[in-house]
Chains A and B, each alone.
Chain A
């Protein structure tokens, strides 16, 4: 009897260890998520006490609002290209650093340094590079390359892709390096004995063994790109025109600046739904690949 009450007591103590974090997480993340869902069915302006219910109107409006569709289109293109470019280059750099070259630590640090800069600052730096510094190269090289990537709606995505990949390739590279180093060396030795070329070894051993790292990096880059906001703040501010409005940038403008809290909440909620669906599809697909190996 005494033992049982002791056990219950210790269970309660364990629960009390979980509770502080859980309460904060609930108040700061979970409840807001449901609040956002609720506001998304209203036309609330943030001032009034009562919430004017308007059903699915916000969601229908989203589907017909050219600004929202435009922001989604920019965000999707940005995410798609980031996922491809960042994965490919991070893996290539990781393979090179994991190879026989000298000065591995130096390269690793150089590629990683941009990750330490705040994205707001990175956006500003690249705006200055595109605007003033790089065009001077044309004078020296006697070329006519268009470096003003933030200046026109047709090149602004390219400009952000360069800036964003410059900043984050090093981060994912580190994950690939660690995964490469965890591949047992005798796998390669066995392959060499069997006479497999190094290219064959790369595709038959390295790539399959990296499957868990691919899952982490692909999902991580996708989620990280869909939330793009900071990078735009001090560079184009969503411009020129509305060409580089991301979905969060537009939500911020609609909600905080124009006080359309209901409409903004609907945009937030749709982003979360997209995030969860995309991540779920990616994870289940990539996990299946992992198992096959």
Chain B
């Protein structure tokens, strides 16, 4: 991705037209940044500035006070750990299951595996939000609501469709010969999966893990249904509670937004290569 961008840059000429496009893009870029800038600006303002200052002005005497308040109000230790825990456990198991399923589907021709593929793919067009009510009833019936494993199981279940789709499209790229050699040497299917296949599909795994991490980290509906207890709440649910409690003092809310946004932003910048690859696999393969 990075390399392609650079090569295409050297090929094309920079003309007057390009300069106009550059100006236009910068204006659009500014529009995109205004809301983000506003969040940062407000997170450093004092409560007094909310009422008397110009809303567009920068904070007069920037202070970390809002961050301290937000940190306490968000119940940061617990919610941050919960969000991280649900996200990490769900995506790791999801990646292992999707990888195994996709591999089995790719290596077998019998009806069961063909059926399995379509079975999973049906779900791709149905976002879980459209099913939230029966999913909630199911969770309630099985006593999965307000447990940490309930929400994790539901994140895995609702992520399987996309996982299998993504993994299957990667499977064709890995050579079958190594697996066959391993099988001849007496490796079982499970050993082959864990020792041979998993290392080969690591890039695809990374892609899936990162894409699902963002989805789960930012998720609201499932978290609000399955983890509403105080000690089970996630960052997004807690943020929403903070928004609805503090309708007048939103400097704290803005600081809280920054706190929840920074980790995910760092993660994205570090791993954007994989993220972009995952998003585009469908587009390029058609």
Contact = CB atoms under 8 A, between A and B. Distances in A.
Contacts of B236: 118, 120-121
A279 B122 CA distance: 11
Interface string A214-244: 0111010001101101100110000000000
Contact of B138 (A27, A46, A135, A215): A27
Interface string B29-40: 101111110110
B197 to A, nearest CB: 10
A145 interface: no
Contacts of B39: 125
A14 interface: yes
A187 interface: no
B232 interface: no
B154 interface: yes
Contact of A132 (B55, B108, B265, B272): B55
Contacts of B161: 25, 29
Given A15-B112, A35-B134, A104 B283 contact: no
A21 B100 contact: yes
A11 B240 contact: no
Contact of A10 (B105, B189, B265, B279): B189
Contact of A119 (B32, B164, B218): B218
Interface string B4-36: 110011011111001001101100110111111
Nearest to B28: A93
Interface residues of A, number: 99
Interface stretch (B60-68, B72-80, B124-132, B170-178): B124-132
Contact of A28 (B153, B218, B265, B269): B153
A102 B189 contact: no
Interface residues of B, number: 104
A161 interface: no
A158 to B, nearest CB: 15
B71 interface: no
A118 B134 contact: no
A175 interface: yes
Interface in B69-114: 97-98, 100-101, 103-105, 107-108, 110, 112-113
A155 to B, nearest CB: 18
Chain B interface secondary structure, helix, strand, loop or mixed? helix
Contact of A230 (B38, B220, B268): B220
- Name the residue in A17, A117, A223, A255 with the highest tally of chain B Cβ atoms < 10 Å from its Cβ: A17
B48 interface: no
Contacts of A178: 1, 276, 279-280, 283-284
Interface string A109-127: 1111111111111001110
Given A28-B138, A35-B138, A128-B250, A111 B29 contact: yes
A251 interface: yes
A2 B139 CA distance: 45
Contacts of B136: 256
B126 A213 contact: no
Nearest to A231: B220
Contacts of A213: 283
Interface in A22-41: 22, 24-25, 27-33, 35-36, 39
Contacts of B261: 116-117, 121
B188 A13 contact: yes
Given A118-B218, A171-B279, A100 B131 contact: no
Given A21-B98, A22-B101, A14 B133 contact: no
A117 B256 CA distance: 12
Instruction: Give the 7 A-B residue pairs with the shortest CB-CB distance, closest first.
Output: A28-B157, A212-B286, A178-B280, A36-B134, A32-B134, A118-B218, A100-B12
